[in-house]
Structure 1
Amino acid sequence: MALPFLPGNSFNKQLGKERFHKSQHFDYSNGVPMLVGSEKPGIGGELLVGQKIKAKYSVYPKGQGSDSPSWVAFDKQALCFEAYFQEAVPEARDETYRIRKCNIFFFLEDDTIQVVEPEYKNSGIPQGTLIRRHRIPLPPPDDDQFYNISHFNLNQQMVLYSRTFTVTSCDSFTRNFLTKLGVHLNDPTTVPDDPYSNLREQKNMKPLRPYERRDTLKQFLDHDRKVLRFYCFWDATESTFGDPRELILHYYLADDTIEIREVITPNSGRDSIPKFLRRSKLPKHPAAQVKQPGQTAERTVLNVFSSPNQGKCFILDSIKVRPVSPPQTHRHDNK
């Protein structure tokens, strides 16, 4: 007999199912409680039973190493990969593209990635940190997921924010870590040559008159107030009324200068002088004739000037023209 269609008397179709348990969508991953239910939500935002989602963070094998969470066990540890990317140069005469080398750091504690390009002097392009440290999403259509440790390998391409990076090699720590995880690493590859850099090397682009600056500040800061003392004497017995004279030689490490003081004993009959040789640079092989400034230098000084930005500088002759030495006269004795 059918029940009347009245409130409270209608047949409940859910009474026919056998399992009435509440589906579990939460679990521990690497010691951290997180959602591990289904990948796609159902109607009304409910999670569909029987569908497992991919891990949003890197999953490391259990039973090996510490049981602490990844953000504790791998604190301040990062994988380092060497990579490069090709950048187009649209409006240039000598180059159409350039090869830029960089390092990709993958931090194990939170799956963050940082891309750093080593700085080269006078490159003319902004270098340093190209991508700051954060989690980077995968390229479309998987832009709802993020890069983890399973996406890294050698000799492969990675798209980071529409820029294609080619991973060439890695350091020893990264190789050992990935090998212990069971990752089969590819063979490392080489970085292609930059055509513009090769062009500059072929042309040997060097300035004809380079600016050279002699910086003595480091020597002064390292060896200031450091003096070497030597006790010596001057044998003047060959001269008239000559006798050995005691001297003290001071060698200043800050600027390579030499000072000589004479030791005068009381009642010696000699006038006391403050210094036997004032503090100055002493030539090792003095010339018989005093030469003009610049003739004894290794390079020919063309001009000397001072600038508030560069300090005191001088222009040298790139051809390294030495002054012509005067002809030597030979003396012949007639016998």
Structure 2
Amino acid sequence: MSSPPDTGSRSSGDDSMHASVLLRSGPGEPLHHRRVTRPVPGPDDVLIQVYAASLDRVDNYIRRGTHGMAVTEPQTPGRDMAGVVAAVGTNVHGFRPGDEVIALGSRTHAEYALAPYWHTLRKPPEWSYAEAAALPTAGRTAYDAIVNITRVQPGERVLVVAASGAVGSFALQLSSHLGAEVYATAGQDWKRRTACALGARAALDHYRADLADQIRAATGGAEMDVIVDPIGGELWERLLTVLAPGGRIVTCGVTAGARGSLHLGRLMTRGWHIHGIGRPGRTQIAEHLRGCLDLMVAADQRPIVDRTFPLAEATAAHDYLEESDFFGRVVLTNMAEEPSTR
């Protein structure tokens, strides 16, 4: 069940809070659990008392300083959160203190964080805070890929690559709900079993060189109408060998590398539709957030949370995420509680 806002851990005049702070990017850099100034909402902001905030690969990249995301000044990571509205800006309508919400904001690995009201949604009462915090970035990305870009139809064959990842797990759930014949890939046996339990017809090992043969064996020789790929790199070329004529592939991540080759003759003769997930504007992001939430609720599905960590253990959570031995989302929780390490 949802918890009420924490009102007893500090005096009413205390404008500080605890947050996870990265001092600078670099190999082995820890996150520091320390007091910082509590943010003040601007006219369009919702100030949220955070009860859960999910981790994203981007958080890892910033911490390590890879993928062009190094920082040299202290920064609190995080974009996705769920919690209770603590205050609202003068332009905000429809939310008031005490409302339970999901939001896409900034610096969310903290006890309080801000989000623009247009990227704030009411939390389904049956969802936990951790489940709700898992939705924004990964959910809206998967929704855009499945519903808007590739326009998955009932009965189509959809291959979800790295189905254990944040985007992949949502893509698997959404495609299954839309009536697609879903296939998945994952790098470990237990992940492949989990993908099948969630609705995949079969789950294959994308680390094996014979991935295309595995897929054809699973489908009786049929090729994929849609492929959702958050990995990229050399795998991208192998995926194209099982994309049906006129098929659609959308790239929504490059965790294995940003380079891949494309035979233009095959593109011409096969008539493929190749898409990138893109960088939508605020209105589109808001539509994707609402669309994903509505579709998940209609399907009676919830975001998949692999494991939670207390805010004070953010470094351990980052290390766990980097090991890639998870299915779904890794989430920070217990933001408003007093960790024993203080």
- Give the TM-score range, shorter chain: under 0.3
Structure number with greater Rg is 1
Report the structure, 1 or 2, having the larger helix content.
2
TM-score by length of 1: 0.20
TM-score by length of 2: 0.19
